């Protein structure tokens, strides 16, 4: 945990200072990748959830002669690029505001299953996929943020292609890849910090019991969903900064996810 905390300090110092960091770290040695979708009228949500709204309250010059604009916003916790807190499917587990920062900023790993998903929209990340990744790369270290790339980001924001159905309220005909319960248990055993995916859910669209959610919730592991631009990341060698809106007792929250990638 000490090394993770030191990494967090270095990353935040670099990002906030906008210049070379301590101990030889330099922003010039990295590139930033925004892994978040914009919240607007096109943002995709679970078919039964309240969609994002952003209503104008004020816009223009005031009687005093100065500019003023203000909006009201709202929507489900679980839409767009967002974080599922463990309590979402884990009774008594951490809420959004209870997640420690060192679980939200950590070394990242991308598991790429896009090829498998090309021919199977219901594909599940398997233990074999994880083992193949570890043979070809490094072992998945405790405290890592693991991101699963299915290639589904290419369909955003087309609800029909991304979700499998564009009918409001229809959850019976959803089709997109996810994580198998066996792979979820292995990642939990690896004691990863977070698990993310470039689809609408850690569980595939056809799931009815959301077993991967249950596994991660029980292990106090948060999930990032609708993560963007995973095709711009390497398999390893980067840091993820995933900072959700700090909603008290929240089961989830919109999240700005950024990758700091070593050049």
- Per the listing, tokens 């499917």 go with 89
Q: What is the DSSP letter of 250?
A: -
How far apart are the C-alpha atoms of 233 and 210, rounded to whole Å?
27
How far apart are the C-alpha atoms of 227 and 151, rounded to whole Å?
11
Q: Is 82 a catalytic residue?
A: no
Q: Other CB atoms closer than 10 Å to residue 191's CB: what's the count?
A: 13
| DSSP H/E element including 169 | none
How far apart are the C-alpha atoms of 241 and 106, rounded to whole Å?
7
Residue 111, both tokens? 């598991």
Classify each residue of 143-164 as buried b or exposed e, where b means 16 or more C-beta atoms within 10 Å of its C-beta: bbbbbbbbbbbebbeebeebbb
Q: For residue 112, what are the contacts with CB-CB under 8 A and spacing of at least 6?
A: 133, 149, 235
> Of 82, 88, 133, 213, which one is the catalytic site residue?
88
Beta bridge partners, 178, equal 124
Beta bridge partners, 225, equal 82
Instruction: Show which residues are catalytic.
Output: 88
């Amino acid at each position: 945990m000490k090394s993770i905390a030191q990494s967090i300090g270095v990353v935040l110092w670099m990002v906030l200072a906008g210049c070379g960091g301590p101990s030889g770290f330099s922003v010039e040695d990295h590139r930033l990748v925004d892994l978040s979708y914009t919240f607007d009228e096109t943002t995709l949500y679970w078919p039964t959830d309240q969609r994002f709204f952003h209503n104008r309250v004020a816009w223009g010059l005031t009687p005093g002669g100065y500019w003023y604009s203000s909006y009201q916003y709202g929507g489900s916790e679980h839409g767009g690029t967002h974080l599922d807190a463990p309590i979402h499917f884990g009774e008594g587990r951490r809420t959004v505001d209870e997640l420690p920062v060192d679980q939200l900023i950590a070394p990242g790993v991308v598991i790429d299953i896009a090829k498998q998903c090309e021919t199977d929209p219901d594909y599940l990340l398997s233990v074999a996929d994880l083992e193949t990744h570890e043979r070809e790369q490094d072992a998945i270290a405790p405290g890592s943020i693991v991101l699963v790339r299915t290639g589904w980001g290419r369909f955003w924001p087309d609800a029909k292609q991304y979700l499998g159905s564009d009918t409001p309220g229809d959850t019976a005909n959803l089709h997109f890849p996810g994580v198998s319960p066996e792979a979820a248990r292995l990642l939990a055993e690896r004691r990863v910090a977070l698990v993310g995916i470039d689809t609408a859910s850690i569980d595939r669209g056809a799931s009815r019991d959301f077993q991967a959610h249950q596994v991660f919730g029980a292990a106090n592991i948060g999930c990032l969903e609708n993560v963007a631009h995973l095709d711009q990341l390497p398999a390893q060698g980067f840091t993820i900064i995933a900072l959700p809106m700090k909603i008290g007792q929240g089961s989830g929250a919109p999240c700005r996810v950024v990758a700091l990638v070593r050049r």
